[in-house]
Amino acid sequence: MKIDATAVRSYLTRWESLLAIATILFIVYAAATTPGLLSSASLSNAFQVVAEKSLFVLPLLLLIIGREIDISVASVGAFAAVVVGLLTQAGLPFAVAVIVGLLVGGLCGALNGFCVAVLGMPSLVVTLGSLALFRGLCYVALGSTPITSPIPPDLITWSYGTFLGWVPNNLIPLLILIPIFGIALHRRPIGRQIFAIGGGPDVARYSGVRVLRLRFWLFVVSGAVAAIAGVLAIGRTSQVTPDAMVGYELDAITVVFLGGVSFLGGAGRMTGVIWSLLLIVMLRQTLLLQGQGQYAQGLAVGLLLIGSLLLANISQRIGAWFTNRRLRAAAQAA
Amino acid sequence: MKHSIVRSTGIMAVAAGVLLAGCASGTPATSPGTGTGETGPAVPGVREDCKDGKGAVGLIPKLGTDPYMVVVKEAAEAAAAEIGGSVIFTSPSEATGAAQIPFVNQLVAQNVCVIAIAGSDTDSTKQALLGAQEKGIKVISWDSDVDPSARSVFVNQADSASIGDQMLVSMSKMLGPDGGDVAILSSTPTAVNQNAWIDSIKKQLETNPDYAKINLVTVVYGQEKADENARQATALVQSYPNLRGIIVPAGIGLPAAANALDQTGDLGRIKLTGLAPPTLISKFIQSGEVQSVWWNVSDLGTLTYHAAQAMATGKITGAEGDAFDAGALGDYKVGAKGEVILGEAQIVTPENLNTFKF
C-alpha cells in the first residue's frame, strides 16, 4: 500500500490531530508529575463530575457548526429536573417522571427552535432569554427548598457506581450518544446538511436543504439532551435543586471551541471535541490533585483556549505566507 | 413548513399531557418520602496514621474567597500550629453544593484524616462524603450543616433559631414601638442556614405579640454577590415606599446593602440589621443606623479544628454526650443530633463593637 505523503501531512496538521498529540503529551507529563492521577478512583471522579456538562457538548457541536448556539441548555436541563422532581413528589413512578421530563426538555428546545427558525430571531439572543426564563421557572416552581426525599436511592447509587474498573455509570448516556451524534454528523445526509447550513444558509436552501426545519429540530434535540443531563444531575447531587448546573453551558462551549469548531460555523469534527474534552478534564483533575482551587483551574482553562486559538491563527498565517511565496515564485518562473 | 413545526410541537405537548394524565389517574401513588437518607455506612474505627492527632484536616469552605471562610482557615491553622497536624484549605469558586464535590474527592485522594466541610447545600456532597467515610476518613461539618447521615459532628456557631430571633430583636429595637414594613435580603434561595433563620423569623412574627407591628413585605436574594445585593437593596427601597428596615442575613449582603443605601441617602430612614462581620460595617454601627448579629468567627475555626482532631484520634465519635478539650476555648460536649454549639450569638451595638475582632 502506498502512503500518500501529502495526505499524511494534512492529517497531522488537522486541528484534532494536534489536539490529540497535545492531550496525550499532557497526560504523560501530568501522570509523571502527579502521583495518583491515573488511579481508578481519580479517573472515575474526574469524569463523574463532568457527566452533565459533557452531554451539553453534543448538541452544541451540531448547533455551532450550523451557525447557531444554545446557551440555555443548563437552565433547560435544570427545569426538566425540577419537573421530574415535582412529578415524583406528586407520586408518579420515577421512570414515568423522567420520560415526561425529557419531553418537557424537548418542548423547551422547541420554544427556542420556534423563535429562531420560524420567527427568525438570532439564537444567541433567544437562548439568552430562555436561559433566564427557565432558570426563573425553576425557582418559581420549586421555591427555595430542594427536593430530596422521594428520589430513588438506586439512581444515586448508580450515579456513583463504575464499570470496567473506573468508568463512572453516569457517563453511559454520553458514551451512547457520542457515536450517534458522530455518525449523524459525519456519515449521514443530515450531517452534510448541517455543514451546508453552516457554510452558507442561502446556498444550502437553494440546494434543497430544509434549513428552517433542520434548525428547529436541532434545538429540540438540544433541549432533550439537556433534560438527560438534568436527570444525571439529580443522581449526582442526590437532590433536585433550582440552582442545578448553573454556568455549565460556558464550560461546554469552551470544549466545543477548543475542539476546533469554527465560530463562524461550517467546520468542526466530533473527534476534535472529544480530545478537547479529555484535555480539559485531565487538566482540571491534575490541578485539583496538586491542590489548586477552582480559580486557578479556570485560569488555566481560559489560557489554554486563548493560547490555542492564538496558535491556530499564527500557524494559519505562516501557512498562508508560505503558499503566497510559492505562488509568487511559480508566477515569476512562468 | 411552519405548519409542520407547529404540528410537531403540538404532538409533543399532547404526548406529555397524555402521559401525565394517564399516570395521574391510572397508577396508584407510590409511597413518597421513603427517603434516601438511610443511616450512613458503618464508620470504620480510628485510622492508625491519624491516631496521634498530627494528621491532615481538609477544610472545604463554601467559597474560597469569602473573608469569613478565610478567618476560619487562619484560626484552624493557628490551632494546628498549637496542637499539631495540618490544614489543607480548598477553594470552590461557586457557592453551590455541586461545586464542592470535586474538592471532597480531592481530599479523599490526598487521604486526609478528617474532612471538615461548610455545606453550600445539604445533599449535593452527601454521596461523596459517605464514600470518604468508607475509606476511613472522618467527616464533620461546620458553619452550615450537610445531611446528618453524611457527617459525625456539626460544629454550629450558635443555635439556629437563636440567630434568627436575635436579628428580629435587633430590628425591633431599632424600629422602636411603632414597628413598620420590613424586608429580608437573603443570600441564595437554597442556602440552608438563611432559610432556617427566615423560617424562625416568620414564625416569631406570626406568634409573638412583641412584633405585632412589624410587617414582613418580601424576601429577595442577593446571590452572595456584592453588586447584586446593592441592586436588590436599592430596588427594595424604591418598590416599598413605606419600608423602614431590611434584615440581611448574609455576610456579603449586609455591608453591600449598607454602602448602597448610604450612597442613595436612604440609610437612617431605613434601618439595617443582619449578619456580617462588624469590622466591615463598623462606621454604620457606630452611627446607630446598622446593627449586626455576630459571633467570634475565629473561635469557630479553633473549635472546628479541635473537633476534627478529636474525631481523628477517636476521643469522640459524634455520639451525644462525648466531650473534648478545645484548648483555650475550654471543654465542649456533643449535643443532640451530633451538634457542637460554639455559644450564643450577640447583637453588635456601638457599646460592644470593639470586642469583635472580625
Q: Distance of CA A256 to CAs A62, A278, B298, Å?
A: 10, 12, 45
ipTM over 0.90: no
A139 touching B (Cβ < 8 Å): yes
Lowest mean pLDDT among A134-138, A287-291, B86-90, B190-194: B190-194
Q: Distance of CA A295 to CAs A205, A237, A300, B91, B252, Å?
A: 45, 22, 9, 8, 19
Q: Do A238 and B36 touch (CB under 8 A)?
A: yes
Which positions 2-31 of A are in contact with B (Cβ < 8 Å)? none
| Per-residue cell: B237 | 427601597
B226 touching A (Cβ < 8 Å): no
Distance CA B303, CA B337 (A): 18
Distance from CA of A213 to the nearest CA of B (A): 7
Distance CA B18, CA B41 (A): 42
On the question of pLDDT at A294 being above 90, the answer is no
Q: pLDDT tens across B294-326, in order?
A: 988 889 999 999 999 999 999 999 999 999 999
On the question of pLDDT at A2 being above 60, the answer is no
Residues of chain A with C-beta less than 8 angstroms from the C-beta of B102: 45, 49, 284, 288
Distance CA A242, CA A299 (A): 27
Q: What pLDDT shows up at residue B188?
A: 87
The dotted CATH code for B160-293 is 3.40.50.2300
Instruction: Give the nearest chain A residue to B64 (CA atoms).
Output: A293
Helix or strand (DSSP H, E) at B273: strand B271-274
B81 touches B15 (CB < 8 A): no
Distance CA A207, CA B208 (A): 75
Q: What pLDDT shows up at residue B224?
A: 83
| Per-residue cell: B142 | 461546620
Q: What pLDDT shows up at residue A124?
A: 96
Cα A73–Cα A74–Cα A76 angle in degrees, nearest 5: 65
B302 touches B75 (CB < 8 A): yes
With cut-offs at 50, 70 and 90, classify the pLDDT of residue A106.
very high
With cut-offs at 50, 70 and 90, classify the pLDDT of residue A62.
very high
Q: What pLDDT shows up at residue B344?
A: 83
Distance CA B118, CA A241 (A): 18
Q: What pLDDT shows up at residue B40?
A: 41
Percent pLDDT > 70 in chain B is 87
Q: What pLDDT shows up at residue B38?
A: 37
Cα A217–Cα A222–Cα A227 angle in degrees, nearest 5: 125
Q: Cβ of A175: how many Cβ atoms within 10 Å?
A: 9
Residue scoring higher pLDDT (A314 or B10): A314
A209 touches A189 (CB < 8 A): no
| H helix runs in B252-341, sequence order | 253-264, 282-286, 297-313
On the question of pLDDT at A83 being above 50, the answer is yes
Helix, strand, coil share (%) of chain A residues, nearest 5 = 75, 0, 20
> Which DSSP letter does residue A117 get?
I
B345 touches B197 (CB < 8 A): no
Q: What pLDDT shows up at residue B3?
A: 58
Distance CA B245, CA A18 (A): 60
Distance CA B327, CA B296 (A): 15
Helix or strand (DSSP H, E) at B87: strand B86-89
Nearest to B33 among A149, A237, A245 (CB): A149
B76 touches B305 (CB < 8 A): yes
Percent pLDDT > 90 in chain B is 63
Q: Do B23 and A49 touch (CB under 8 A)?
A: no
Distance CA B274, CA A331 (A): 79
Domain layout of chain A by residue ranges = 9-318
On the question of pLDDT at B6 being above 80, the answer is no
Lowest mean pLDDT among B41-50, B195-204, B226-235: B41-50
Q: pLDDT tens across A172-226, in order?
A: 999 999 999 999 999 999 999 999 999 999 999 999 999 999 999 999 999 999 9
Residues of chain B with C-beta less than 8 angstroms from the C-beta of A91: 28-30, 32
Q: What pLDDT shows up at residue B155?
A: 96
Q: What pLDDT shows up at residue B180?
A: 93
What's the whole-model pTM score? 0.79
Average pLDDT over residues B224-246: 93
Q: What pLDDT shows up at residue A326?
A: 86
| Per-residue cell: B284 | 454604620
Nearest to A114 among B5, B15, B90 (CB): B5
| Per-residue cell: A295 | 480559580
Q: pLDDT tens across B54-65, in order?
A: 999 999 999 887
Which residues in chain B are classed under CATH 3.40.50.2300? 48-157+297-343, 160-293
Distance CA A115, CA A109 (A): 10
Q: What pLDDT shows up at residue B44?
A: 59
Q: What pLDDT shows up at residue B39?
A: 40
A217 three-state secondary structure: helix
Q: What pLDDT shows up at residue A22?
A: 92
| Per-residue cell: B217 | 413585605
Q: pLDDT tens across B145-170, in order?
A: 999 999 999 999 888 778 888 999 99
Residues of chain A with C-beta less than 8 angstroms from the C-beta of B136: none
Q: Which of B117, B132, B130 is nearest to B304 (CA)?
A: B117
Average pLDDT over residues B253-278: 93
The fold for domain B48-157+297-343 equals Rossmann fold (3.40.50)
Structurally, at CATH architecture level, domain A9-318 sits in Orthogonal Bundle (1.10)
Average pLDDT over residues A159-172: 93
Q: What pLDDT shows up at residue B32?
A: 35
The number of C-beta contacts closer than 8 angstroms across A and B is 167
> Residue B271: beta bridge partners?
B245
